């Protein structure tokens, strides 16, 4: 299917709403029936039509069709956060006593689920360095039900060979879930590589304007129906029609925004690499990246996020650098129009500052839609001040 068709037309039945170009926000909790029999049908199978907006809703359905098509998936569910999409995809595929193999350091709230919530139900997790397929082979137990992946990781950019892991999991009857927030379906399609469930935080590039929190799951129709009929309806964590509408709007410009972010990032990366005060950079499509070859094979492009280390004598110098930035905002998240920075040292108290701890020295930069010179000038004046 053409990308332009998916973004501009798919799912939009304009003649049903006065030929309006933009879709309506169907802001309703419930839907009426003329026939008892029709109501009975929906009671029996809520995934087959509109009855109540905790389940299906027409505005959200337009978005679901587009997001499924972008991933070349049979079906899609949209959640009110990326974290709730993670939660539902994992919970739907484990039972008491099961075991999960997860790539090390996945998104923090996935870790919380594995470390704090699931152990209460006797579900254990083994974390592996996902850069080597053997580590997955070794970690699998007879009761392993899920392999949880995030490729690339949004801090270290560590990748997993998705085709190899999917093959291994299939042979063992294990479900694979891959967090694809970094790439979006435009730069990487995990389902095509054999992964069972692709997930993303739509808060990032899909929303693109730092004004919506949302999450996406894509996969086979049967898997999405299973999650819908159980976790999705029970937890009630679907997206609101208005937020779905904002994501449809975000999708209209996703290709051009990603393109701009990708181009900007290349320019800023080259600047950072050449600066005497920069010790090193981490970026998956840079030749210095340890998994550069796999990154080139697996991802159409790399964008937005750069991690780097400054040559400084004390952590306070990093604090000074961050606080000297005038345009790049210090904030969590990424994928919006605005450039952002997070210092690793924000995770520890000043008493614990230790320049020898690499994670404390790490800086993660997100490059937004500004002109690259504008971003570089800001970094430059902050570095001169450090
Ligand atoms: C932000 C993020 C999430 C969580 O998404 P929310 O929409 O914030 O709940 C999950 N995975 C990755 C890699 C993320 O960056």
* Local confidence pLDDT in tens for the 386 residues of the chain: 999 999 999 999 999 999 999 999 999 999 999 999 999 999 999 999 999 999 999 999 999 999 999 999 999 999 999 999 999 999 999 999 999 999 999 999 999 999 999 999 999 999 999 999 999 999 999 999 999 999 999 999 999 999 999 999 999 999 999 999 999 999 999 999 999 999 999 999 999 999 999 999 999 999 999 999 999 999 999 999 999 999 999 999 999 999 999 999 999 999 999 999 999 999 999 999 999 999 999 999 999 999 999 999 999 999 999 999 999 999 999 999 999 999 999 999 999 999 999 999 999 999 999 999 999 999 999 999 98
Residues 265 and 246 in one domain: no
Residues 56 and 26 in one domain: yes
> 172 vs 94, 137, 145, 147, 198, CA distance in Å?
15, 10, 9, 11, 19
Closest ligand 1 atom to 333 CA: 1
The label of the residue with tokens 């899920």 reads 146
Residues 148 and 246 in one domain: yes
Would you say how long the chain is, in residues?
A: 386
Residue with the smallest CA separation from ligand 1 atom 8 is 82
Closest ligand 1 atom to 154 CA: 13
Please say whether the beta carbons of 71 and 199 come within 8 A: no
Query: Distance, CA 215 to ligand 1 centroid (Å)?
Result: 8
Spatial neighbors of 29 by CB under 8 A, at least 6 apart, are 52, 53
Residues 78 and 173 in one domain: yes
Residues 31 and 176 in one domain: yes
Of 244, 194, 237, the residue nearest 87 (C-alpha): 237
Query: Distance, CA 181 to ligand 1 centroid (Å)?
Result: 7
Q: H helices of 154-287, where?
A: 162-172, 184-187, 221-227, 233-235, 241-252, 254-274
User: Of 252, 282, 306, which residue sits at a domain end?
Assistant: 252
Residues 248 and 329 in one domain: no
pTM tops 0.85: yes
Query: Distance, CA 293 to ligand 1 centroid (Å)?
Result: 26
Query: Distance, CA 332 to ligand 1 centroid (Å)?
Result: 10
Closest ligand 1 atom to 85 CA: 9
Residues 324 and 366 in one domain: yes
Dist. CA 338–CA 367, nearest whole Å: 7
Query: Distance, CA 17 to ligand 1 centroid (Å)?
Result: 34
User: Of 252, 269, 300, which residue sits at a domain end?
Assistant: 252
Residues 172 and 293 in one domain: no
- How many structural domains are present in the chain? 2
What is the per-residue pLDDT for 386? 85
Dist. CA 345–CA 339, nearest whole Å: 19
Residues 108 and 188 in one domain: yes
Hey, CA dihedral for 22, 28, 29, 34, is it positive or negative?
negative
User: Of 252, 276, 311, which residue sits at a domain end?
Assistant: 252
Dist. CA 214–CA 198, nearest whole Å: 14
Residues 145 and 184 in one domain: yes
Please say whether the beta carbons of 79 and 104 come within 8 A: no
Residues spanned by the domain of 355: 254-384
Hey, CA dihedral for 354, 358, 359, 362, is it positive or negative?
positive
Of 73, 59, 41, 113, the residue nearest 216 (C-alpha): 73
Closest ligand 1 atom to 213 CA: 7
Residues 24 and 145 in one domain: yes
Find the CATH number of the domain harbouring 310.
3.90.1150.10
Q: Which residues line ligand 1 (CB under 6 A)?
A: 81-83, 107, 150, 154, 179, 181, 201, 203-204, 213, 215
Please say whether the beta carbons of 206 and 78 come within 8 A: no
Residues 151 and 27 in one domain: yes
Query: Distance, CA 19 to ligand 1 centroid (Å)?
Result: 35
If one residue of 79, 149, 154 were mutated to test the ligand 1 pocket, choosing by the most ligand atoms within 8 A of its CB, it would be 154
The CB-side HSE value for 121 (13 A sphere, CA atoms) comes to 12
């Amino acid at each position: 299917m053409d990308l332009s068709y998916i973004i501009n037309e798919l799912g939009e039945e304009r003649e049903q709403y006065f030929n309006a170009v933009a879709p309506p926000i169907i802001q309703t909790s419930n839907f009426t029936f003329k026939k008892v029999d029709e109501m009975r049908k929906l009671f029996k199978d809520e995934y087959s039509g509109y009855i109540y907006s905790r389940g299906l809703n027409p505005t959200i359905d337009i978005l679901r069709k587009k997001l499924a098509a972008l991933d070349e998936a049979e079906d899609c569910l949209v959640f009110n956060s990326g974290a709730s999409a993670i939660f539902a995809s994992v919970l739907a595929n484990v039972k008491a006593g099961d075991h999960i193999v997860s790539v090390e350091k996945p998104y923090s709230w996935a870790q919380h689920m594995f470390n704090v919530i699931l152990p209460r139900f006797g579900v254990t997790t083994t974390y592996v360095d996902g850069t080597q397929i053997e580590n997955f082979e070794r970690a699998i137990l007879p009761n392993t039900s899920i392999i949880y992946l995030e490729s690339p990781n949004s801090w270290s950019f560590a990748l997993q060979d998705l085709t190899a892991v999917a093959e291994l999991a299939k042979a063992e009857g294990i479900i694979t879930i891959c967090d694809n927030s970094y790439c979006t379906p435009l730069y990487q399609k995990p389902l095509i590589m054999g992964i069972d469930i692709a997930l993303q935080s739509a808060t990032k590039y899909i929303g693109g304007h730092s004004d919506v929190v949302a999450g996406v799951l894509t996969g086979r129709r049967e898997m999405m129906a299973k999650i819908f009929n159980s976790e999705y309806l029970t937890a009630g964590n679907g997206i609101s029609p208005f937020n779905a509408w904002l994501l449809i709007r975000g999708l209209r410009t996703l290709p051009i925004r990603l393109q701009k972010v990708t181009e900007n990032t290349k320019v800023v990366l080259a600047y950072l690499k050449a600066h005497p005060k920069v010790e090193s950079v981490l970026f998956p499509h840079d030749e210095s990246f340890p998994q550069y070859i796999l990154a080139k094979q697996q991802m159409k492009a790399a964008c937005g996020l750069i991690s780097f280390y400054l040559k400084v004598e004390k952590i306070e110098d990093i604090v000074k650098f961050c606080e000297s930035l005038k345009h790049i905002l210090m904030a969590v998240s990424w994928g919006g129009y605005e450039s952002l920075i997070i210092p690793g040292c924000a995770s520890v108290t000043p008493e614990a500052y230790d320049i020898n701890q690499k994670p404390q020295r790490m800086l993660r930069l997100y490059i937004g839609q500004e002109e690259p010179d504008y971003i570089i000038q800001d970094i430059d004046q902050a570095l001169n001040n450090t």
